[in-house]
Amino acid sequence: MRARPRGGAPLMIPAAILLVVFCLLLEGVFSGSETALISADRAQLRAASRRGDRRATLVLRLLQRSEALLSTTLVGTNLSVVAGTSLATLVVGHYVPHEWETTVTTLLMAPLILIIGEIVPKSIARAAANSIALRVAGLLRAAQTALSPIIFIVSRIAEAMLALLGSRPTDDNPYVTREELMVLADMGEDHGAIVSEERRMIHSVLELRERPVASAMVPLVNIISVPVTATVAQLDEVAARAGFSRYPVYEGRVDNIVGIVSVVDVLRSDLPGDPVSTPIAPFIRREVNYVPETKPVGDLLRELRYGPVPMAIVVEEHGGVVGLATAADLVEEIVGEIHDERLGAPPSLIAPGSNVFECDGTMDVDELAELTGLAIRKEGFETVAGLVTSLAGRIPRKGEHVSFGPFRVDILEATPRHVRRLRFTRVGSGAR
């Protein structure tokens, strides 16, 4: 079998080769542009658009119609491949027997299409997504206009096939979901862009709509309240000891909250008599805000922010009082514990990685896990007091100790119903 004559059209072959190269480069432009726009940082593009960058605005508009964008790049890529392959077949056919045209063309074009048309441009586009997206936005918009008839026909056919399969395309998906923001925060910490505390705050803010009030409230046993029969002098004594500005008022039992009393309201008023005998009853606000323990922290924080009293009584499903939530408590869920210098030293002097530290029993076990580097499975408890009670199988007494991983946990303060303060001492091989 003989090859076709090499003569006949000497100028056509070089031109065809140049067109093949052009088609390969054009395919690379379309595939790289698609990767660049999809990988571009939307936040930076929005910021550039607000500064008046028209190219950034155009990129965002293209991304808003992602289906049309993908149709444009796919049509452009496929037209380039088909045209380039056809021209390559013409060139190859000039040098090889007819029976070998398809085989030789495939062997030559397949690696060229993969390398020049796909792998290299997509790798470059991914490495400099934002800058490339800004450069190619105008070209893609022009291609979208030029190819609009073909895109329209292809899109209608695709939509009809998807309808038959019971699926329809949508552009309603958000650019970034809450889970993606959390992943971005984790990646930012890993790369040193943000510190651990900032990552924790980002996670806390994003979880406000799902975290129940029960996880942030002061439990009933820790609530400092005053009886409805208390006098101004007794309220002043409680305030001097506890340091708060508002206190729940109970009648009969501590879980029967009937109102809130503000120390500021009492101090601002002219007392009619001796504080020792003047009752607090006239100063009690009877409008108590009761909220279920399952209410999201974010919703309650919004209510307390605009409400008359930044305090709410938390109740369980049967109406029994189980705790108290204040705006300050909810804010601390985001920024961490806010220390009031009027209350003396902080309750927990904790140095991450030290061999000895003390903490309150009310400290969250998640914070303990972060400090110690140990995985803690929550089995019916949320606080360090609950953890040591679970380890001991009962409420340990003052002076006793339990083992927790490489730590010896000494009970410094405790009541028959609650562990108040503990000391952790690293005694294992990891002591340093």
Can you say how many angstroms the Cα of residue 265 is from the centroid of all Cα atoms in its chain? Answer: 41
Whole-angstrom distance, CA of residue 135 vs CA of residue 270: 73
Whole-angstrom distance, CA of residue 228 vs CA of residue 224: 13
Angle at 297 between CA 344 and CA 371, to 5 degrees: 50
Going by C-alpha positions, the residue among 315, 258, 264, 263 that lies closest to residue 287 is 258
274 Rama class: left (phi>0) / alpha (psi -120 to 50) / beta: beta
What pLDDT score does 422 carry? 87
Whole-angstrom distance, CA of residue 370 vs CA of residue 379: 18
Secondary structure of 156-202 as H, E, C letters: HHHHHHHHHCCCCCCCCCCCCCHHHHHHHHHHHHHCCCCCHHHHHHH
CA distance between the termini of the chain: 83
User: Contact 34/70 with Cβ under 8 angstroms?
Assistant: yes
Q: Which pair of tokens denotes residue 263?
A: 């120390």
Place of tokens 């953890």: 387
What pLDDT score does 380 carry? 74
What pLDDT score does 345 carry? 44
- Tens of pLDDT along the chain (432 residues) come to 444 544 445 568 888 889 989 999 999 999 999 999 888 888 788 888 888 889 989 988 888 888 888 888 888 899 999 998 888 888 888 888 888 888 888 898 899 989 998 999 999 989 888 899 999 999 999 988 898 888 888 888 888 887 888 766 555 555 567 787 888 888 888 877 788 778 888 888 888 788 888 888 888 888 889 999 998 888 888 888 888 888 999 998 888 999 999 888 887 776 666 666 788 888 888 888 899 999 988 888 888 888 788 889 999 988 899 999 988 888 877 776 665 544 444 444 445 445 788 888 888 888 888 777 777 877 778 888 888 988 888 888 888 989 888 888 999 888 877 888 888 888 865 444
Going by C-alpha positions, the residue among 419, 199, 210, 192 that lies closest to residue 296 is 210
In this structure, the number of other CB atoms found within 10 A of the CB of residue 189 comes to 17
Phi, psi of 252 (to 5 degrees): 85, -75
In the chain the domains, ranked by start, together with CATH numbers, are 12-164 (no CATH), 176-206 (no CATH), 213-335 (3.10.580.10), 345-426 (3.30.465.10)
What pLDDT score does 176 carry? 64
